[in-house]
């Protein structure tokens, strides 16, 4: 049986982004040894649901996924491989495996910058992005983005048109046709760069995948550059990941400080992100590509009337510590989920990071991120320096 099959099986059983996966891998001499230990009743690092899944998941299921990878020429990188970035190993919950198409050597570059922004940028943001991305590419920086329409696409196209590598981190399988009409660009990226995903082949772009994708995007990069972000932009979630990973954050000053389309970057700039007036503000920064924690005081996402219904593939067993003063049910809608209620109980004891919440529950990083995003956009909680707390605290 190929070694890749055992890696895939372990991720199926443990779940994507689980806190125990990579640390436990380091405790075994081989991935096969870990596989056999997980089938043993003496295994202590799995919860009841994972133990049940281990017994019910045949190795053949993982083998079929690997066969699909081989058929579609999808490669796999493990946390033990030489091309796996050291910088990624140092984030909270590093991925055990990554699927890719293209050149994995790009991950070893010194000048990786995550470049993100809205899908519907203003003309001002388009002009700034084209100019700034060109200068960064000319300076041999590798742009990392999410292959979405809008500013992500401009970052990738600028790199491709100049014959430079770029990395597209996807919120779906590397073979999934998303976004629509992006196949030609993806093929161009593969020729000199990399398509990268934490998700199995043929995985659709579920809403809950994107916080996980954003964590990976900042995890492999040295800095984060935000061109345009509104008050409820996903870029603010990306900024939260960068902050928790101690990555410097740069923002373009808005052309109109009163326009809601720039509310997200305005908030980040006010609270300590570095303003960019030209590429020299990055290239001449004495701490360029140094791992320095940005002094951002808070990142708020404006309350919205729109309710998000995240698609969570599987509910994990939750074991929160119950507060003596539980949240009153009438403060929140009837449709609040079990996961969200558990998080609210935990936050009654004080502010917590995503890492701390994962440790206090049996939820995966993916599920926690989905819940926090919805709760923050509904105004139930706030995010300050990567610490989440109840909005009324």
Q: What are the tens digits of pLDDT across the range 14-46?
A: 998 888 899 999 999 999 999 999 999 999 999
Least confident of 23-27, 123-127, 183-187, 353-357: 353-357
d(CA 74, CA 266): 40
Please state the length of the chain: 393
State pTM to two decimals: 0.78
- Residue 287 has what pLDDT? 54
- CA 77, CA 393: separation in Å to the nearest integer? 43
Q: How many CB atoms lie within 10 A of CB 87?
A: 18
pLDDT-derived band of residue 316, with 50, 70 and 90 as boundaries?
A: very low
Beta pairing, strands 75-78 & 387-390:
unpaired
Residue 312: predicted pLDDT: 34
Q: What is the mean pLDDT of residues 140-153?
A: 97
DSSP state of 322: P
**For residue 362, what pLDDT band results from cuts at 50, 70 and 90?**
confident
118: left (phi over 0), alpha (psi -120 to 50) or beta: beta
Residue ranges covered by each domain of the chain = 1-71, 104-283, 303-393
| 54-98 per-position pLDDT tens digit | 999 999 999 999 999 999 999 999 999 999 999 999 998 899 999
**122-136, 192-206, 218-232, 297-311: which has the minimum mean pLDDT?**
297-311
Q: What is the pLDDT of residue 335?
A: 59
Phi and psi torsions of 331, nearest 5°: -80, -15
- At residue 308, does pLDDT exceed 50? no
Given this model, what pLDDT does residue 78 score?
A: 98
Instruction: Name the CA radius of gyration of the chain, rounded.
Output: 21
Say which residue, 151 or 92, is predicted with more confidence. Answer: 151
303-393 CATH: 1.10.10.10
Query: Do residues 257 and 125 touch, judged by C-beta distance below 8 A?
Result: no
CATH top-level class for 104-283? Answer: alpha beta
Burial of 171 (0-12, 13-18, 19+ CB in 10 A): buried
């Amino acid at each position: 049986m190929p070694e890749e099959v055992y890696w895939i099986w372990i991720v199926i059983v443990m779940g994507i982004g689980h806190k125990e996966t990579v640390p436990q891998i380091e405790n075994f001499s081989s991935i096969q040894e870990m596989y056999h230990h997980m089938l043993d009743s003496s295994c202590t690092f799995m919860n009841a649901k994972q133990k049940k899944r281990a017994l019910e998941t045949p190795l053949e299921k993982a083998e079929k996924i690997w066969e699909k990878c081989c058929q579609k020429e999808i490669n796999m990188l493990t946390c033990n491989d030489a091309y796996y970035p050291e910088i990624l190993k140092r984030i909270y919950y590093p991925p055990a495996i990554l699927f890719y198409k293209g050149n994995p050597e790009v991950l070893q570059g010194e000048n990786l910058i995550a470049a993100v922004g809205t899908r519907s940028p203003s003309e001002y943001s388009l002009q700034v992005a084209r100019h700034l991305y060109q200068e960064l590419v000319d300076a041999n920086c590798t742009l990392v983005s999410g292959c979405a329409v809008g500013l992500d696409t401009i970052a990738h196209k600028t790199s491709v048109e100049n014959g430079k590598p770029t990395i597209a981190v996807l919120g779906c399988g590397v073979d999934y046709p998303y976004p629509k009409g992006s196949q030609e660009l993806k093929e161009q990226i593969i020729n000199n760069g990399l398509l990268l995903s934490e998700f199995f082949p043929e995985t659709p772009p579920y809403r809950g995948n994107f916080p996980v994708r954003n964590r990976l995007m900042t995890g492999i990069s040295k800095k984060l550059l935000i061109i345009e972000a509104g008050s409820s932009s996903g870029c603010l979630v990306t900024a939260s990941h960068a902050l928790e990973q101690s990555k410097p954050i740069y923002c373009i000053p808005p052309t109109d400080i009163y326009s809601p389309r720039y509310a997200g970057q305005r908030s980040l700039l006010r609270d300590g992100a570095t303003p960019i007036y030209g590429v020299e503000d990055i290239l001449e920064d004495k701490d360029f590509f140094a791992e320095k924690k940005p002094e951002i005081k808070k990142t708020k996402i404006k309350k919205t009337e729109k309710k998000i219904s995240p698609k969570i593939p599987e509910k994990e067993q939750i074991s929160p510590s119950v507060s003596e003063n539980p949240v009153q049910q009438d403060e929140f809608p009837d449709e609040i989920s079990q996961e969200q209620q558990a998080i609210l109980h935990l936050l009654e004891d004080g502010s917590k990071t995503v890492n701390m919440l994962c440790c206090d529950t049996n939820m995966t990083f993916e599920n926690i991120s989905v819940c926090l995003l919805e709760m923050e956009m509904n105004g139930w909680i706030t995010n300050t320096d990567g610490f989440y707390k109840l909005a009324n605290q």
